Amino acid sequence: MRIFVPLALATAFILAPHAVRTARADDAQASDARAEARERFSRGLHLFENGDNNGALAEFKRANDLIPNRLVQFNIGLVYAAMDRPVEAVDTLDKVLQDPGSLKPVQVARARAEKEEQEKRIGFLDFTTNVPATIEIDGIEAGTTPLSAPLRVAAGRHIVDAVASGYLPARVEVIVAGQSHVSSTLELRPSEARLAHVEVRCPLPGADIYFDGALVGQTPLRASVTTEPGERSVELRRPGYRTQKQVITLQDGARGEVSFDPELDPSVGNGGRLRLLINEGDIFVILDGRAHGVYSTSIPLPAGPHALRLERAGFEPLDRLVQVPSSGDVDIKVDLRPTPETREAYVQHARSYRRWAWTTLISGAVVAGVSGGLALWGHSEISGAQNKLTNLQQSAKPGAGGGCDPTFVLPAQVDLCTQEISDAQNSLDNYRNLRLGGIIGAGVGVALVGVAAALFVWSPDSTRYDRQETQFLSVRFVPSLSVSNDGAGLSLLGRF
């Protein structure tokens, strides 16, 4: 026992530094994760506020991966709702409500209300097929037949495909209302050919894609289109744009690609104008994949959705989907987020500006104070110097009987009196000059103080690009639902 105690102490002594280093490394990693999560959240909130829901969703998900948080998950559910993805919104908010954690009662109530609202926007699809098949909805695999339960989808139009090896795909377009059920049977025909896949690329959103005259989806297609091999006619249609058609020949099991570059149809006048409300200088605009140039005035566009990308040197690009009305203007408020380098340079510039302001203020105050003191002191000495000079001049007048009267004193004494008069005159002049210089200096000091005040008023705000942030785990979200004549909109307010 006596042997083991020293041995244990020695082992602990040896391992202690390693344990400390490990703990410090873990703390550093946790700190880095928290800092990244805070930055991800800040960026996600900025993107959400500026209409880039896809970007916001990605940032919020990453923040939640770094530090799982019920408030962030609640935020993700609201973003899904804004993206018209009620199924994901309901699933996310349902998990939040099952274990609210630190959510406040008002937030729990908001999550429950939003979940109930999103549930009203979910429809149900129930499909049967003559052979076991994979069901794809809008190009995304959703299940296999026989289905164990109806598939949940957002209310609206959907393209449903049934795909099975050795069979030609069966495709149907369905329109489903919220909280309604649509049932159908898809018949797949046998085929010895292996199915082909076609990637359709198009920068314009909201365009219908047809294969051999049958609608297969709307851009942007989320996955490749499964089709039988052979010569396929691919067509793009959207009001306001010229119809485009391409023919592609596909071998068994081949993969192909079709790219469209839509052109405006000037004969169609149905459209509105896009107007940007920007907080920065020149912003470069890219619309539907095409460079539009630096924004200067509202942009006429066909009605419907458009992919907008905004760029400016030193700022993060912003992507968003904008809906242009059939007439009138749509105003888009743009608040670009600076890159870390631009933010740091701006902060340093603002701080330098304020340092100059403080330096000018202090210098002006010192100059005004010292000069004013000198002017007052010089002024107070002028009266005595003037009296002394007057007395000396009186005593030097001939016949006056003064101490310097040349009539009664020796020439040497006259020279001495003359020197005293000259010295008194110089002293008086010096005091007068000192007073004048002090007044001028005080004026300069006051002017510097005025310049400093102007610098403070016009100095850049060093917190311009900052959000009020606290610790990540105390994130606060305040969702807001606004309703107007143009419809309803979901907004989200939050901060760390």
Clarify whether residues 103 and 34 are in a common domain.
yes
Cα gap 207→264, rounded to integer Å: 13
3, part of any domain:
no
Q: Of 119, 154, 172, which residue is a domain's last?
A: 119
Cα gap 476→106, rounded to integer Å: 11
Clarify whether residues 379 and 451 are in a common domain.
yes
Single pTM value for the model? 0.67
Clarify whether residues 377 and 433 are in a common domain.
yes
353, part of any domain:
yes
Cα gap 248→234, rounded to integer Å: 8
493, part of any domain:
no
Clarify whether residues 355 and 446 are in a common domain.
yes
245, part of any domain:
yes
Q: Of 119, 153, 181, which residue is a domain's last?
A: 119
Clarify whether residues 176 and 232 are in a common domain.
yes
Clarify whether residues 424 and 300 are in a common domain.
no
Clarify whether residues 185 and 137 are in a common domain.
yes
Clarify whether residues 220 and 332 are in a common domain.
no
List the CATH number of the domain containing 322.
2.60.40.1120
Clarify whether residues 99 and 57 are in a common domain.
yes
Q: Which domain, by its residues, includes 367?
A: 342-458
Clarify whether residues 310 and 374 are in a common domain.
no
Q: Of 259, 285, 320, which residue is a domain's last?
A: 259
284, part of any domain:
yes
Clarify whether residues 46 and 157 are in a common domain.
no
Clarify whether residues 131 and 251 are in a common domain.
yes
Residue 121 CB-half CA count within 13 A: 19
What total number of domains does the chain contain? 4
pLDDT at 4: 46
22, part of any domain:
no
CB 82 within 8 A of CB 481: no
397, part of any domain:
yes
CB 280 within 8 A of CB 313: no
13, part of any domain:
no
**pLDDT (tens place) for every residue of the chain, 496 residues total:** 444 445 454 455 555 555 555 555 666 777 788 888 888 888 888 888 888 888 899 999 999 999 888 889 998 999 999 989 999 999 999 999 999 988 889 989 999 999 999 999 999 999 999 999 999 998 889 999 999 999 999 999 999 999 998 898 999 999 999 999 999 999 999 988 888 999 999 999 999 999 999 999 999 998 899 898 999 999 999 999 999 999 999 999 899 999 999 999 888 777 899 999 887 778 999 999 999 999 999 999 999 999 999 999 999 898 989 999 888 888 988 888 888 888 888 788 878 878 888 898 899 899 888 988 988 988 888 888 888 778 877 777 776 666 776 776 677 776 788 887 888 888 888 988 988 888 998 889 899 888 878 877 777 777 766 654 333 333 444 444 333 334 444 444 444 4
